[in-house]
Amino acid sequence: MRSSYCALVGVALLLGGCAGPTADQSSAPAAAGDAGAPFHGAWELASIVRYSGDGEELSRNESSTGFIMYDPAGTMGVVIQGADRAPYAGDEATPEEILAAYRSYTSYFGGFTVDPEAGTVTHHLRASMNPRGAGSDYVRHYELGEDSLTLQPPAGADGGVVRLTWRRLPDLAELTDEHRRFIGFWEFARLDRTDDSGAVLPVQRTYEDGFIIYTASGHMAVHLVRPGRELFADGRPTAEEAGAAMGTYVSYFGPYTVYADEGFVVHQRPGCWFPGCIGSDARRGYEFGDGTLTLKPPAREVDGGLVQDALTWERISD
């Protein structure tokens, strides 16, 4: 029971560190430089192991899934999904379902810097599914193996620690020129909306920040955050607060496939912040501009007419 409990509750907390984040409202680090080179690329979660202050292994979770992605520009993003997440049983989620969904998914993005002498990497958060994380620094001790990366947040008050081990993902065997156009980190620029005549429509709810990440391994992740998010009143959210946090953040991850001739890309979503979209595909038409990528979901019908959204992203990666 200890392992399954940690897999559910711990996923939402473990990357924040047992001792909590350190505020740094600037959160605009310089590029990680040469010290960050061993981190660059995509890593897949292999295990989450918890130890007591005496070094006794308390639980081992090898069922959760996720990626951590680092870029030479000094940017990063992480997504972790707990095992056995399932869609809500009914049309309306119960408070227990909302809390379970929130606690079993972790997502944040921002910058990173590496201190080789201290053996630490610091994640400088621009935003997080937990509103409290924005503007914080998460310091992690690290160990690099040949194809592995182990990150350890600060120890808890009782001396217990959590160690997350990631395995490096290899590049696709057949990396096309069209793949290379996608690869890298992109930040959200704007959301446009038009009707079927091409007339511009007002956007009532947009986003204020976000990353979309495509890697040479053929994997992707998206992070989007809406403005006006509220902090939790206490350390742990109520069901209402957890629902609001999930309702103002978008995150999913998985493989992607480019259909260059047809002009669309498919995001496969084995991981998704909203349990109902786990295992579904997201098809997006795409257009590249001068340092931009515009993605268009399928048009939707509104009041008898078609409405087309278009999200434009600006390249961060060199």
User: What are the boundaries of each domain within the chain?
Assistant: 2-168, 177-315
pLDDT value at residue 19: 37
How high is the pLDDT of residue 84? 85
Tell me the CATH number of domain 2-168, given options 2.40.128.280, 3.30.1280.10, 1.20.1250.20, 1.10.10.10.
Answer: 2.40.128.280
What is residue 16's predicted lDDT score, i.e. its pLDDT? 55
* Backbone phi, psi, residue 150, to 5°: -115, 130
Name every residue whose Cβ is closer than 8 Å to that of residue 69 and which is 6 or more positions away in sequence: 41, 42, 43, 76, 77, 78, 185, 213, 215, 221
- Residue 32 has a pLDDT of 46
Buried b / exposed e over 129-146, threshold 16 CB at 10 Å, is bbbbbbbbbbbbbbeeee
Write the CB contacts of 249 (distance below 8 Å, at least 6 apart in sequence).
107, 127, 129, 223, 224, 225, 226, 229, 273
CA–CA separation, 144 and 151 (whole Å): 9
Cα dihedral 229, 16, 34, 46 sign: negative
pLDDT at 310: 97
Give the closest residue to 104 by CA, choosing from 15, 167, 168: 15
pLDDT at 40: 96
**Measured distance CA(270)–CA(301) in Å, rounded:** 27
pLDDT attached to residue 123: 98
**Whether 145 contacts 38, CB under 8 Å:** no
Reading the chain (318 residues) residue by residue, the pLDDT tens digits are 333 333 334 454 455 544 333 433 333 344 445 899 999 999 999 999 999 999 999 999 999 999 999 999 999 999 999 998 889 999 999 999 999 999 999 999 999 999 999 999 999 999 999 999 999 999 999 999 999 999 999 999 999 999 999 999 999 999 999 999 999 999 999 999 999 889 999 998 899 999 999 999 999 999 999 999 999 999 899 999 999 999 999 999 999 999 999 999 999 999 999 999 999 999 999 999 999 999 999 999 988 889 999 999 999 998
Please state, in angstroms and rounded to a whole number, the distance separating the CA atoms of residues 223 and 233: 24
Note whether 2-168 and 177-315 share their fold.
Answer: yes
Gap between the Cα atoms of 157 and 176, Å rounded: 50
pLDDT reported for residue 304:
85
Instruction: Note whether 110 and 133 are within 8 A (CB).
Output: no
The answer to whether domain 177-315 has CATH 2.40.128 is: yes
